[in-house]
Amino acid sequence: MRHMADRYFDDFAVGDTFETATVVVTAEDISDFARRFDPQPWHLDLATAAASPFGGLAASGWHTTALTMRLIVDSGFLRATGILGLGVDDLRWLKPVRPGDTLRVRGEVLFLDPPIGGKRTGIMRVQLTTIDQHDEAVQREVAILYVPRRAHRSTT
């Protein structure tokens, strides 16, 4: 099997799966992200968060998407081509992310739309499920990525 970092469009098949390393989310990470991008009480401060709909500090959903991206980049998935996103479908936050949670991402290739008309770049749909230390999904999304074919490929 090829090293994941060397893979181009040609090297994937529908059903391929992978899993990333893990990241631990701290209370400081959660409130630091929230101060910049989502300053609502349940993301900012333990005491205020306790009386909120979340019943305690929880990460912004956008923090979870950003951490998911970091885990995917660090995994080497598509390192050769870059991870170039056209968009995301069906993003759902399934369970609050709490201080001390350990997250990792499972990926599964759902769909491959080959390059046409002499183009070099195809489109991949990959389902990314972000999972906590209890093996429970905290987030799910379908990323839509531009993925180039291998250059100078022999066609014979």
The residues binding its own copies (CB under 8 A) are: 33, 36-42, 52-53, 60-62, 65-67, 69-70, 73-74, 82-93
Q: Which sign does the torsion angle of CA 28, 30, 34, 40 carry?
A: negative
The first and second tokens of residue 77, run together, are 């998935």
Q: Of the two residues 50 and 84, which places its CB atom closer to its own copies in the complex?
A: 84
The first and second tokens of residue 98, run together, are 């709490």
Buried-exposed string 24-40: b where 16+ CB fall within 10 A, e elsewhere:
ebeeebbbebbeeebee
Q: How far is the CB of 139 from its own copies (least distance, A)?
A: 9
Q: How far is the CB of 18 from its own copies (least distance, A)?
A: 18
Q: Of the two residues 19 and 32, which places its CB atom closer to its own copies in the complex?
A: 32
Q: Of the two residues 13 and 111, which places its CB atom closer to its own copies in the complex?
A: 111
Q: Which sign does the torsion angle of CA 36, 38, 39, 45 carry?
A: negative
Q: How far is the CB of 148 from its own copies (least distance, A)?
A: 9
Q: Of the two residues 41 and 108, which places its CB atom closer to its own copies in the complex?
A: 41
Q: How far is the CB of 41 from its own copies (least distance, A)?
A: 8
Query: Residue 9, SS3?
Result: helix
Q: Of the two residues 15 and 85, which places its CB atom closer to its own copies in the complex?
A: 85
Q: How far is the CB of 146 from its own copies (least distance, A)?
A: 8
Do residues 97 and 59 lie in contact, with contact meaning Cβ atoms separated by under 8 Å?
yes
Rg (CA), the chain: 18
